[in-house]
Amino acid sequence: MSAVPVAEAAAKPLPGGLGPCVPGNCPDGDYPPINNGGIKYRDNGINIYVGGDFLVREKAAEAEGRVVVLGDFDQDKAAGVSGVYNVGEAGVGSRVAPPVGADWLTAGGDVTVAGGERLLAEDGVVRYAKDASGTIVGTKRKDPDAAKPYIPLRDELTAASQCYAHPEGGTRTPTGTATHAGGETLFRGDNTSMLQVFNVDFDLMGGSGGQEGIRFEGIPDGATILVNILGTKRTINTYSGTIDDSSQLNKLRSRLLWNFPDATSVEVKGTGQFQGSVLVGDQASMTTVSVPGMNGRFFTTGSLTHTSSATGGGGQEFHNYPFLGDLPDCATAPATGEVKVVKTDEDGGKPLKGAEFELWRESNGAAGLQTGGDDPDTKVGDPCVTEAQGECARTVPLGTYYWRETKAPKGYERPTPNVFGPLELTEANATEGVSVPATNKKKDEPSAKEGLVSVVKKDQDTGKPLPGAVFQLWRETNGTPGLQRGGADPDTAQGSPCTTNANGACRETVKPGTYYWVETKAPNGYELPDPAVFGPLVLTESDVALGASVEALNRKQAKPDVHGSLTVVKKDRKTGRPLAGAVFQLWRESNGTPGLQTSGARRDTLADRGCATDGRGRCAFQGLTPGSYYLRETAVPDGYVMPAKRVSGPHKVTGHKPAKDVTVTLTNQRGGGKKGK
């Protein structure tokens, strides 16, 4: 029987504006179904938010979209499976990835990747507050405040989760029923309300713990579905959801939210492509996900384990899909609001696309914006690039903010000053938000008798553009063929040296003539070509509009493949007999402080977790890069005592060819009948 219609609460998105796509380059309309095609779209919104720790285990494969973790990110997969875990971009998914150069993974603690494994964020940034260890492919940035902008979201999400299920301490009135029978759970709506509410106090799985179906009916077009799953320990085990978006459940994905307000343990498993966004409100919770695909935003205030089932296959993935629903308005007063900058042409007022801004929060008490020095104000999030409407907007906590223009739109000059604000966001104006205009003046067009000469620096093998090469432009002035840079009558250098940008390009606007680009410094990791002169480039009055360009190729520097080894030999102190069963850790000197430091923010690097001596009393550490190492004894043979000095070193492993083995002999004294720790 349908519930009696009641007035619906005011509708709001998730806290912090979470859910929708954030430009980037958002799709028009629906996101693509799961595919492995090229990347056409970019979403700068958070797809996965974890208030505790994010653990990657067993055969889990990918987390598409931006990932924010307030605690540690720890990758330690099963032995004998692929050691790769992708963040940001997935090989198979919606193929809507974060913008190139954005923070693809943010961690408020450590980022740890087990030996023999790789964490891939190839076109993005891995930003972390404490330490990073293991193989991380991407741009690594240590930032003590990495997670600071996202900390308030944790309490806001907890409060929202409780409000969605338990307004004013009670239970939210449902608009439909959930029936658990016949191998499925059927959610039957009232076919009227634009917010369909279901309360579930049971596990969504078969009677014997197996899989079951999930089905909805009586849901109006465009309605938001809120499923409150009540109880402290809950499991979903389902085969529902498809790859090709053909199922009814897939079509509800963008407006479906599964809310776990009370659970300290949540498990989502089965063989289906799980559809809809997830919110877990208990900050002490652990959610374990092992379905082949999670399709929707995933926000937990607790911890998350991404893993695979004990009996199934691997390749478990989170896929980047937005939440676009309208949820109950739980706030008594707005804690956040929108701060916006609107970029327009100085003359015509036309909105300008392509301006890049940074948002800064007033935090040091000094008037105006300070971006450097010992006590700067606080930068908020990633840079924003204006789209066709000329706007950059962010939803942020109350406070004082500044927009700082770092790059002007193409064809325009960056204004002076380039800071716009302060914008005061208060309780009184948070609902409407605050905005500031910013105008740009067009650059003066080159005269009809001037044109561009450019050089494009690329990798010789891959063709990839290379930033960081330094060039000097020269003009042919002495009438002698070729470039002369010295002697009594050299050619003429033009302007200052130029460093290639992200597109590998250097450009100068010059008068018609003959020019040469001279490479004076190669990009990091590349050899300076010989010859390092590129040209001549002949610019005539008839082709100044087209300009003249030349391509310059560089080859990567060869990396010497030199490794050494260190062998520890353990003997009885009195008899000299070899001893088996002594366990050693190997640490690499990395912090510049004499002696071994195994804890703290500036500890040395653990190179090997542990090696036990064999019957010959020997334990060998192979494939070591040149450097200084320490041996730390963590367990002694049966019947022996731990020496007072457990650490030996430093031991120098050199890079000479052929590499020499370093052998260290250590002894133990008898005493005690059990293995020492």
- pLDDT at position 675, please? 46
Structural domains for the chain: 22-150 (no CATH), 153-328 (no CATH), 336-442 (2.60.40.10), 451-554 (2.60.40.10), 564-670 (2.60.40.10)
- pLDDT at position 599, please? 85
**65-74, 290-299, 546-555: segment of lowest average pLDDT:** 546-555
Helix (H) or strand (E) holding 515: strand 513-521
Answer whether residue 677 shows pLDDT above 60: no
- pLDDT at position 1, please? 25
* Cα distance between residue 597 and residue 310, in whole Å: 38
Burial classification of residue 428, based on how many CB atoms lie within 10 Å of its CB (0-12 exposed, 13-18 middle, 19 or more buried): exposed
Q: With cut-offs at 50, 70 and 90, classify the pLDDT of residue 154.
A: very high
Dihedral of CA atoms 415, 418, 424, 430 in degrees, nearest 10, equals 70
Contact 568, 651 (CB under 8 A): no
Q: Which residue has the higher pLDDT, 612 or 8?
A: 612
pLDDT above 90 covers a percentage of the chain that reads 76
**124-138, 450-464, 654-668: segment of lowest average pLDDT:** 654-668
Give the per-residue SS3 of 152-194.
HHHHHHHHHHHHHHCHHHCCCCCCCEEEEECCEEEEECCCCCC
DSSP symbols for 413-429? EPPSS-EEEEEEE-TTT
**Facing residues of 199 across strands?**
228
* Cα distance between residue 189 and residue 191, in whole Å: 5
Phi/psi of residue 399, nearest 5 degrees: 160, -170
- pLDDT at position 3, please? 25
| Residue 262 CA, distance from chain mean position | 29
A 10 A CB-CB count for 373 gives 8
Phi/psi of residue 268, nearest 5 degrees: -120, 115
Contact 441, 408 (CB under 8 A): no
Q: Omega of the bond prior to 650 within 30 degrees of 0, cis?
A: yes
* Cα distance between residue 616 and residue 569, in whole Å: 8
Lookup result for tokens 């896929």: 319
Q: Please state, rounded to an integer, the average pLDDT across all residues of the chain.
A: 91
- pLDDT at position 197, please? 97
Which residue in 593, 558, 580 sits closest to 637, CA to CA?
580
- pLDDT at position 6, please? 23
Answer whether residue 109 shows pLDDT above 50: yes
A 10 A CB-CB count for 594 gives 8
How large is the average pLDDT for residues 296-308? Answer: 98
Question: Where in 523-601 does DSSP place strands (E)?
Answer: 533-539, 548-554, 564-572, 583-588
Q: What is the CA radius of gyration of the chain?
A: 31
- pLDDT at position 9, please? 35
Contact 35, 53 (CB under 8 A): no
* Cα distance between residue 629 and residue 604, in whole Å: 10
List pLDDT tens digits, range 250-287: 999 999 999 999 999 999 999 999 999 999 999 999 99
Answer whether residue 57 shows pLDDT above 50: yes
* Cα distance between residue 128 and residue 139, in whole Å: 11
- pLDDT at position 562, please? 64
Sequence-distant (≥ 6) Cβ neighbours of residue 658 within 8 angstroms: none
* Cα distance between residue 319 and residue 296, in whole Å: 7
Answer whether residue 333 shows pLDDT above 60: no
- pLDDT at position 10, please? 38
Dihedral of CA atoms 386, 388, 394, 395 in degrees, nearest 10, equals 180
How large is the average pLDDT for residues 451-472? Answer: 93
Answer whether residue 334 shows pLDDT above 70: no
List pLDDT tens digits, range 202-221: 999 988 889 999 999 999 99
A 10 A CB-CB count for 599 gives 7
Q: With cut-offs at 50, 70 and 90, classify the pLDDT of residue 560.
A: low
Both structure tokens of 559: 């990396």
Coil, helix or strand at residue 436? strand
How large is the average pLDDT for residues 515-524? Answer: 95
> Model pTM?
0.52
Answer whether residue 674 shows pLDDT above 60: no
* Cα distance between residue 145 and residue 115, in whole Å: 27
